[in-house]
Structure 1
Amino acid sequence: MSTAPANGRQLLTGIEASGAFPVPYRFTHAKGGNRHLVVVFANFSAPQDYGWSNGVLDNVRANILWVRDRFDGMNSYYLCKEMDFSLEQSVAALIFNVMTALELTPDDVTLWGGSKGGSAALYFGLRYGFRNIVSIVPQFLVGSYVQRVHPKVARFMLGETVPEENVRIVDAILPDLVRSQVNRTANIYLLSSPQDEQYTEQVEPFLDLFHGYDNFNFIYSESPFITDHTQVTRRNVPALLGLLNLLVDGLPPRLGHVRNGYEEPDRDRTPIGSYLKATAVVRGAEFPPPVVTEPAARSEVARSAVRFSGLAPGAVRVSIWEHGRYLGQADVAPDGTWSWELGRAWSKGQHPVKVYGIDRVGYQSQRTEVQFTAVDGPVHGAVPAGPAAHPMGGVLAMAPITAPEGGGAPMVFAPMAHEQLMDARVLFAGSAPGAVQVGFRESGVLLGAAAVGPDGMWSWDSGWAWSTGTHVVDVFGVDAAGVESSISRIPFSTVGVSSGAGSPGY
């Protein structure tokens, strides 16, 4: 799945599942071919557990990898679950896989984070040998901190009873790592403040441990306007972003040789593109999209009586959206059924609602879109939709099958209008009651045709790999007398999947 932020940088999401713990991530490519990677760790209050994801890093020129800290529904400091540190190794695997796909080395990477994320940046940066570390108001005694402040996190990380032995072990991890002077040539920038209520216990006692490091920089922020832990970061954002851009440009504040520029705008992105595709959060044919059995497609429904229901094989919950805005979610029962209501009356008019499934790992299915019209008062004579056989083995939402009046256009369930597809093979499917076959044209060129079954359903696979880019396909029905219906126009795009010649006639 990808989105385009306001500044035009495409945001890609995925899950690195090669380790013991699946690790969700977000990624955006560098501007102007910059050859650097910034890895961002999250604090406790980060939206959706992605730190610094509110647009503040939009103007950073580097590749940016946001690592989510949510494992089995809980935060972890990116370290462990019940003292199982294979969670940490799974996070490290994500970072190294992205770094390798970008053809970078640890010298080309900056780790960045605040509070919980600051502890993670310092820990991963030192332990795994990364060149630049920006640690903002971290905690050093992680075990004691979660035991006292975040008891649920403590139980998740240290065990249900939070044994004191485990508290001590996790307390020692970061101080012992710094004390060992591992990665002593790293460029380390640690920000804290005496106005931070955590400073006296969590930072000040450990500053002397950095004396042996070649380029340790302590940014001491003191201001009457700083009132608490979070304000330390907020008051220093401009200076921190300035520091980050220096690191991205290969200009760490230090004496000696520096490297400027470091941009290759024409560099081949194939390796990182392949990695992002392989770990993309939205799955293809192996994870079927949900079925929406009600409301019926293109039906009219009373505003106060809209209820969604259907099937979602392979999912543990479904997520419901409209116009890019999250509406809600519903758990999927063991038999695959689900249902959901908004909890208030819908606004009057048409509503294009998208539903997708989410599995236990966090992978998402393709989107299913259903359009309905919310109207005032009861709707008379409405026939509830029923499931119809999907050509790939599932079921799809469909309106009651009745012969269309005046050569109505075929209904197209897949691909959805304006859908981005990560597969070069595109399956078309839908219903065309009253037609004996459906045909497909692009730019006036006939691509092929498919027979319509007795139940009105049809499907068509062109047999070729579609070229990368935007396609607009007209789908039309043909009745027994050879008369063509009106068309359903389906714009869609294939993203980074093929550089082939595309469909016949090009």
Structure 2
Amino acid sequence: MGIIVEKLEKKYESSNGVTLTYLEDPYPVKNAAGERKLLVIFQPVGTEGKEDRYKYPYSLIDGFRFYNCRKIYIKDNFGELGSYYIGLKGETNIYSAVQEFLKKKINEYKILKKDIIFYGGSKGGYASLAHGFDLGVGSIVSAVPQYKLYDYIAKWKPIMFDVFPEVINGSIKAYYNDFLKTKITKGYDKPNVYLITSRKDELYDDHLVPLVETLKENGCVPYVWENNEEYVLRHNKVVENSLNEILAIITMCLADEKIRKFF
């Protein structure tokens, strides 16, 4: 990597006491056209057994370096492997802090919501959808996102049970399983949603299918790209084998409207 991440990281102290760590545009914009657009990147699940520097890595810093736009990489360095940008122990204080931070940066940059793109893979894909619908951004590019959060963590990532309250009952399970659904349902503005997935993803039937149904029920018909090639074996192989498509979609979202007509 051509940049030293730790020297460029910044902190945001939210009004509720949560401190967010983020990286802001390590490869700066080229002109006024780039200054008018914003790409926000959310992280996937952290890596077990690593120190913080490697446990919560930023996604695609060099991969996005040639995009002429503002960029914000938000770190989710809370809990065992992240907080889903929501909170720990049943709290939603991290979610509120992220919302406050993004609203402040959008106002600071004077960027129109239609010119904002949220991107993330897996946990980051979930967060891009939740925060994207809450803020009403222009486009969301979400790769292999979860949908029913409690069911996912209980089955696949029990190490992340610190996201939930210590006492879990039926209403708590329903609250977290419906967290994203509630954001989509209550979202005032309907973003353009691009989903990258695979039928070989273990989460496809239980998460992707009901997610698409919820989006359609709420007036948001997503574009769904499925990578079902032989070399895509499971959930964590989808993003790394679909980067051409992910970059193409984000490029299209950033491009001038005249260019978008060719897609």
Aligned AA for 1:117? G
Task: Show the counterpart of 2:109.
Answer: 102
| Shift in Å, 1:11 | 7.3
Q: State the Cα RMSD in Å.
A: 2.8
Question: Does the Cα contact within 8 Å between 1:147 and 1:162 map onto a contact in 2?
Answer: no
**How far apart, CA to CA, are the structure 2 residues paired with 1:37 and 1:167?**
34
- 1:203 partner SS: helix
Alpha-carbon offset, residue 68 of structure 1: 0.6
* Partner in structure 1 of residue 130 of structure 2: 123
**Identity, % of aligned pairs?**
18
Q: Deviations over 1:7-31 (max 9, x none)?
A: 8999731111023211100111533
Aligned partner (choices 213, 216, 221) of residue 219 of structure 2? 213
Distance 1:177 1:9, change over 3 A: closer
Over 3 Å counting, the alpha-carbon distance change for 1:26 and 1:149 in structure 2 is: same
2:164 and 2:45 mapped to 1: Cα distance? 17
Taking a change above 3 Å as real, the CA distance of residues 213 and 251 of structure 1, as seen in their structure-2 partners, is farther
Aligned to 2:23: 26
Deviation of 1:221 (Å): 2.0
Summarize the Cα distance change of 1:146–1:37 in structure 2 as closer, same or farther, 3 Å threshold. Answer: same
Equivalent residue letter for 1:194? R
Partner of 2:44 in structure 1?
43
Partner of 2:72: 65
- Output the CA distance in 1 between the equivalents of 2:255 and 2:7: 22
Is the contact made by 1:112 and 1:135 (CA closer than 8 Å) also made in structure 2? yes
Equivalent position to 2:245, from 239, 246, 249 = 239
Q: Give the direction of change, closer, same or farther, for the CA distance of 1:104–1:180 in structure 2 (3 Å limit).
A: closer
Greater strand proportion: 1
* Alignment partners' CA distance in 1, 2:182 and 2:229: 31
Aligned to 1:168: 174
Q: Does 1:196 align with 2:192?
A: no
Q: Which has the higher contact order (CA 8 A, sep 6+)?
A: 2
Q: What is the Cα deviation at residue 101 of structure 1?
A: 1.8
Is the 1:81–1:157 contact (alpha carbons within 8 Å) kept by the matching residues of 2?
Answer: yes
Q: Return the structure number with greater helix share.
A: 2
Q: Which residue of 2 aligns with 1:17?
A: 13
Alpha-carbon distance in 2 for matches of 1:208, 1:111 = 21
Deviation of 1:73 after TM superposition, in Å, equals: 5.9
Q: State the shift of 1:53 in Å.
A: 4.2
Contact 1:51 1:113 in 2 (8 A): no
| CA distance in 2 between partners of 1:38 and 1:65 (Å) | 6
Letter of the 1:23 counterpart: L
Return the letter of the residue paired with 2:23. Answer: R
Alignment-mate amino acid for residue 2 of structure 2: A
Structure 2 equivalent of residue 93 of structure 1: 100
Which has more radius of gyration? 1
Segments of 4+ in structure 1 off by > 3 A? 7-11, 45-48, 161-164, 179-182, 212-215, 250-256
CA distance in structure 2 between the aligned counterparts of 1:9 and 1:249, rounded to whole angstroms: 27
Q: CA deviation at 1:67?
A: 0.4
Cα separation, 2, equivalents of 1:244 and 1:40: 11
SS in 1 for 2:119: strand
The one-character-per-residue Cα deviations of 1:430-488 (angstroms, maximum 9, x if unpaired) are xxxxxxxxxxxxxxxxxxxxxxxxxxxxxxxxxxxxxxxxxxxxxxxxxxxxxxxxxxx
Instruction: Specify every segment of 5 or more residues in structure 2 that has no aligned partner in the other structure, as ranges.
Output: 48-53
Distance 1:220 1:94 in 2: 33
Alignment of 1:161-310 (within 5 A): 161-180=167-186, 182-184=188-190, 186-211=191-216, 212-213=218-219, 216-251=222-257
Partner residue of 2:155? 148
Q: Does the CA-based 8 Å contact 1:114-1:135 persist in structure 2?
A: yes
Deviations 1:201-259 (A, max 9, x none): 11113312222535521112221111011111111101211221221224499769x9x
Per mean C-alpha deviation after superposition, the further-off stretch among 78-87 and 113-122 is 78-87
Render the CA deviation track for 1:392-435: whole Å, top value 9, x for unaligned: xxxxxxxxxxxxxxxxxxxxxxxxxxxxxxxxxxxxxxxxxxxx
TM norm structure 1: 0.46
Q: How many residues align?
A: 251
One-letter code aligned to 2:86: L
Is the alpha carbon distance of 1:135 and 1:17 closer, same or farther for their aligned partners in structure 2, counting shifts above 3 Å?
same
Taking structure 1 as reference, are residues 67 and 158 closer, same or farther at Cα in structure 2, changes over 3 Å only?
same
